[in-house]
Amino acid sequence: RQRQMCIRDRSPDDPTFVQVQDKVQFGQPVCIIEAMKIMNEINAEISGEVVEILVENGQMVDYGQELFAIKKN
């Protein structure tokens, strides 16, 4: 099984895509997953408030792993 890296910002000089208490809209980018040098933008699946971030920037994650807890509007 291939491991992937969660990237929470576009570059080291940029702020993270989202933080706890941020409001997000369906389809809004929340992070990037890098697998085999291919960057895949991950979008919010629901609109709501980010209540918890479950991974650190640069952390290796598995396919299907939860990355954020979002309280639906």
Residue 1 predicted with pLDDT over 70: no
Please give the average per-residue pLDDT across 30-48, as a whole number.
95
Specify the pTM.
0.89
What number is the average pLDDT over the span 15-43?
96
Higher pLDDT, 26 or 13: 26
Tell me the average pLDDT across 21-38.
96
SS (H, E, C) the chain: CCCEEEECECCCCCCECCCCCCEECCCCEEEEEEECCEEEEEECCCCEEEEEECCCCCCEECCCCCCEEEEEC
Is 33's pLDDT higher than 90? yes
